[in-house]
Amino acid sequence: MFDLFGDIEVKPILKWVGGKRELIPDIREYYKNLKPNKYIEPFFGGGSVYFDILKTFGVELKETSIINDVNTDLIEMYKNIKSSPNEIIKYCKELEKDYYKYDYYHIRDRFNGIDRDKNQVERYEGVVRSSSLILLNRTCFNGLYRVNSKGLFNVPKGNYKNPRIVDEENLHKLSSLLPKIENIRNTQFDNIEEIEKGDLVYFDPPYHPLNETSSFTSYSGSFGRKEQIRLRDYFKKLNDKGVNVILSNSSSPFIKEIYNEFNVVEVYCSRNINSKSNKRGKIPEFLVIGDEILNQ
């Protein structure tokens, strides 16, 4: 087993918009004194909180942890990292050669199965597809994952001189720390049946936009007011069941309103997604804390 507490700790394999690495100390304050039976993360994304959970409670918690995301390509990537890390590394290196021989868009076209002229091309599948997702994420603009209305990945190339596609040591460590394959799920956030009293669940859904023009097409499809309310109802259901629940979201008035019966904490995080540099910087976000955690 790799030493999670060594000089080199595991890092998320992907750059992920909305990633929680910077907010980990704020979020940890609400779970550090718990003794969870299981950890469940229904919107996994880059997984920063999961890795801090293992650091906080011990790597043995991975045996009962459940990670989930509705993004099929993302979950297939984690499954392939878990089961076939050496193959992932092999194909990342091969695709890196294609990246420099051809270009970024050569890889993106084959990830989509269609080129920029709307011609069909051979689509990457399996481990090669997972490896191409890693490469695209490391070389696209701001590490975005965005698809258009046809489900095609449409993020342009980023401005990187010598991007590091894969950190082999980190990928092997990540593989060893992911849950067992059957606990790496690809389903809806409210379709995980094993959640029980005393478990810890952290929700990091697509954020509700601060205004109507600030959102972009989500990797998980539309997640509007209806879905946010559905999530709120599920959060409340688990809270009433005695589950330790924490949720992140934007600091929009709508989110504050629908979670008004819970403790809503304002935290600040740097966000660099805006194309205008003067619009970047520290912005407020909300943490919603369940009753079981407050009453500990």
Q: Is the confidence at residue 114, as pLDDT, over 90?
A: yes
**Confidence at 7, pLDDT banded by 50, 70, 90:** very low
Any idea which residue has 């966000």 for tokens? 271
d(C-alpha 4, C-alpha 290), whole Å: 29
**Confidence at 277, pLDDT banded by 50, 70, 90:** very low
pLDDT in tens, 278-289: 445 688 999 999
Classified as helix, coil or strand, 69 is: coil
Looking at the domain 78-169, which fold is it? Adenine-specific Methyltransferase; domain 2 (1.10.1020)
pLDDT in tens, 209-243: 987 555 444 455 578 999 999 999 999 999 999 99
Dihedral sign computed on CA atoms, order 280, 284, 289, 294? positive
Is 80 within 8 Å of 87 (Cβ atoms)?
Answer: yes
Q: Residues spanned by CATH 3.40.50.150 within the chain? A: 24-70+187-294
Is 127 within 8 Å of 84 (Cβ atoms)?
Answer: yes
Look up residue 49 and give its two tokens. Answer: 């909180």
pLDDT in tens, 205-214: 999 998 755 5
d(C-alpha 146, C-alpha 25), whole Å: 28
d(C-alpha 77, C-alpha 131), whole Å: 8
| pLDDT at residue 216, as a whole number | 45
Report the side by side order of strands in the sheet with 66-68: 184-185, 66-68, 39-41, 200-203, 244-250, 281-289, 263-271
Nearest C-alpha neighbor of 84 from the set 138, 130, 50, 134: 130
Q: Residues spanned by CATH 1.10.1020.10 within the chain? A: 78-169
d(C-alpha 84, C-alpha 228), whole Å: 35
Class of domain 24-70+187-294: alpha beta
